[in-house]
Structure 1
Amino acid sequence: MHRKPLFETIWNEMLDSNALMAITVFVGAVSFYMFLTRNDHQDRRRESPPPTPKKHGASFLRRIHLGEFSGRTICISWETLVEKHEWRDCAKETLLALSSNMIVYLMCHISNANEKGKVLSMVKDIPQLARHNILFCETEKGYEAFSRQIKPAILVTHDSAQAEFLSLVLPNVVLVGSSATGSAMTSISSLSELLF
């Protein structure tokens, strides 16, 4: 006597009874339940509060003082450091301190080679400031191009329009000498506030 394979026997029994219908109903119910719980979970995610805004102002300065940006990149516009080819109050000391624990890019707006020489002679006493990190441009757009390519952790500038534009692209923008109009910027009166 020849025996039929087990699965063939089970299959034939299911076709004869309502077992196939019961399995179909069970699979459908489980699928429907999974569909409902997945949609409910996605709705809850949509209702969650928006992420907290970036930290700026006093909390941003506190993060700098705590050394959170140590080893990170900072771009500084030359105009925040000097006025009429003379160092501003504590500007040289601030640049020296920042270059000792951060990667400093100095962005200089010049109109001729003579100005370039003056800039280089003023910063020659800062050994941690690498020569290839001193960048020169002839237009204000050069600052924007440098900043967008370098993508620094901190950008320090004197131009409020430039700061507002770059605050959309960069995480931390510091405006020196003016008050910030946007919430994504930090305003300071002098560069030395980054240290104290």
Structure 2
Amino acid sequence: MARKPLFEVIWQSMTASNAWLVFAAAVGAVSFYVFLLKSAPRGNGRVTPSISNSKDGKPSLLNRMRQQQFKGHRVCIAWEVLAEQGQWRDHAKEALVVFAVDMEVYVMCRVNCKQEKNEVLAMLTGISGLVRHRILFCETAKGYESFCRQIKPALVVIQNEVQASFLSTVLPNVVLVGANVPGSTVTCISSIYDLLLQYAA
């Protein structure tokens, strides 16, 4: 006597209503699995972590720097923060090298002539992660404000007190180097090396 296939035996032993219940459960499970696959973040897309604004009760900008919350985000840095009279400031190049690898760094440079522009480009040549179209030049102080409004960086590092105060009204995270703006949301540090120390901590 020939044996019936196991599936056929199980199917015949089930009532019609039970069969429909099993079928509905299977369809539901497959649908839920497809939903989970579509909802999951794609690995090949660039996912940018969110950054909370610096408000009461939230971590300070330096703490968020230590937690590397700016990694992968746009950062604008004024050239005066990095160099003075054609020479790198202490640890400034080291900081730029680290930030350019992990962040989308824009260097904003105010120059008076083509020779100054060429000198800046020569100093920035060879820094990994820093691409030419992110080295920006202008001739007036207003240029930095225009750059920041267009780029909308997650972080801007600047040396001018007036610009820092203004930008803090339109951008969430502004760092002022070498000066102090009391009673504002601007984070004040002595040099860009302070940011590097927090980032590398």
TM-score with structure 2 setting the length: 0.69
**Residue 66 of structure 1: how far off its partner (Å):** 1.1
Counterpart AA for 2:70: F
**Distance across 1 between alignment mates of 2:154 and 2:183:** 18
Which residue does the alignment assign to 2:100? 99
Which residue does the alignment assign to 1:61? 62
Map Cα deviations across residues 19-43 of structure 1 (whole Å, 9 max, x no partner): xxxxxxxxxxxxxxxxxxxxxxxxx
Identical amino acids, percent of aligned pairs: 51
Q: What secondary structure does 2:60 align onto?
A: helix
- Is 1:89 matched with 2:90? yes
Q: What secondary structure does 1:195 align onto?
A: helix
Unaligned ranges ≥5, structure 1: 1-51
Q: Which moved more, 1:161-170 or 1:60-69?
A: 60-69
- Is 1:177 matched with 2:178? yes
**Residue 60 of structure 1: how far off its partner (Å):** 1.1
**Distance across 1 between alignment mates of 2:178 and 2:185:** 16
**Residue 127 of structure 1: how far off its partner (Å):** 2.1
Map Cα deviations across residues 155-174 of structure 1 (whole Å, 9 max, x no partner): 10000000000100000000
Contact 2:81 2:158 in 1 (8 A): yes
**Residue 193 of structure 1: how far off its partner (Å):** 0.7
Which residue does the alignment assign to 1:129? 130
Unaligned ranges ≥5, structure 2: 1-52
Larger Rg belongs to: 1
Which residue does the alignment assign to 2:116? 115
Which residue does the alignment assign to 1:158? 159
**Distance across 2 between alignment mates of 1:176 and 1:53:** 18
**Residue 90 of structure 1: how far off its partner (Å):** 0.1
Map Cα deviations across residues 70-96 of structure 1 (whole Å, 9 max, x no partner): 000100000000011100000000000
TM-score with structure 1 setting the length: 0.71
Q: CA RMSD in A?
A: 1.9
Q: Which moved more, 1:173-182 or 1:93-102?
A: 173-182
Which residue does the alignment assign to 2:27? none
**Residue 182 of structure 1: how far off its partner (Å):** 3.5
Contact 2:54 2:60 in 1 (8 A): no
Which residue does the alignment assign to 1:143? 144
> Which segments of structure 1 move beyond 6 Å, counting only runs of 4 or more?
none
Map Cα deviations across residues 121-154 of structure 1 (whole Å, 9 max, x no partner): 0010202101000000000000000001101000
